[in-house]
Amino acid sequence: MLDFKNKTIIITGASRGIGKVLAVKLARRGANLVLAARDREALETTASECIKVGAKAIVVFTDVTSKEGCEKLIADSVAAFGTIACLINNAGISMWARFEEIQDLSMFEKLMQVNYLGAVYCTYYALPYLKESRGLLVAVSSLTGKTGVPTRSGYAASKHALQGFFDSLRIELKDTGVDVLVVSPGFVATDIRDRIIGSKGKPVRATLNKERHSMSPELCADLIIEAMSQRRRELVMTFKAKLGLWLKLLAPNLVDKIAARAVSSQNN
């Protein structure tokens, strides 16, 4: 079991959404927090909420697409707290466009840089310290990292890459004391979809139904923290999602139809 009190935890994408909620909940458990994102003002807000409940928290302005930025994030974390117990790779962006409608293919590079390579860079620089502390690596992936989803081709590809990387790393790290947890939420009602990348490669505000079909970020964060405390290897959220993974082996065409229907319901 992982005790969070006085443990140093780095969270990327901590300025809003799941990352922010995770930060505040871990602060209540006494963690030392390193909060990373590109929005400095929003990060400061998250940090103040963490400090308000009695935690220690620092802000490190970080663009995870920069190797140098990720290296600095880890160096600043060690300088502030001396060690690292957990790295939560949570930074991410999404998309909403059919492949044939995409006008700017550079969106695929951006999705891969943020959702996949950012986690690779942060993990690379953090790993020596995690081995010292026998710590925990967390990757916030998605159910789209396990099955294709229409209008999310680039996003799904980046999450499949993330899943494959951390599954491979878990095997490499066997017997080092470092555990790897891959988290696969479904639809979560965060504002990531208010800044989704559209067909022209620019952020657009998607008109999606967040309430009726989505999990709350609070529940999502609670499930992640529970899995972290148990040092589990994987967390697939919701019974339907777990059932879907079995169905994919037995009836893949049916899973395709279910995925298409789930995405359609987000627009209704």
The per-residue pLDDT for 218 is: 95
| Cβ–Cβ < 8 Å for 64, 70 | yes
State the CB neighbour count (10 A cutoff) for residue 246: 10
| β-strands 234-236, 203-204 pairing | unpaired
C-alpha to C-alpha distance for 167 and 137, rounded to whole angstroms:
11
CB–CB of 85/133 below 8 Å? yes
Work out the angle at residue 67's Cα, subtended by the Cα atoms of residues 202 and 162, and round it to the nearest 5 degrees. Answer: 70
User: What burial class does residue 27 get, using C-beta atoms within 10 Å of its C-beta: 0-12 exposed, 13-18 middle, 19+ buried?
Assistant: buried
To the nearest whole percent, how much of the chain has pLDDT over 70? 87
pTM: predicted TM-score of the whole model, two decimal places: 0.90
243 Cβ partners below 8 Å, 6+ apart? none
Q: Give the pair of three-digit tokens for residue 228.
A: 């972290």
Q: What pLDDT score does 147 carry? A: 86
Which token pair is 127? 């790993």
Compute the CA torsion angle 41, 45, 46, 51 (nearest 10 deg).
130
Q: Pairing mode, if any, of strands 86-89 and 136-140?
A: parallel
Give the three-state DSSP class for 179. Answer: strand
User: Which of 84, 38, 96 is CA-nearest to residue 65?
Assistant: 38
Q: For residue 101, which of 244, 233, 201 has the smallest C-alpha distance?
A: 201
For residue 100, which amino acid is it?
E
pLDDT of residue 264: 62
Could you give the domains of the chain?
Answer: 8-238 (3.40.50.720)
The model's pLDDT over 101-152, given as tens digits with 9 standing for 90+, comes to 999 999 999 999 999 999 999 999 999 999 999 999 999 999 889 888 889 9
Q: Which residues of the chain have pLDDT under 50?
A: 210-211, 268
Q: Which residues are catalytic?
A: 155
- Long-range contacts made by residues 252-258, C-beta under 8 angstroms, separation at least 24? 255/147, 256/148
Gap between the Cα atoms of 134 and 143, Å rounded = 28
258, containing H or E segment:
helix 252-266
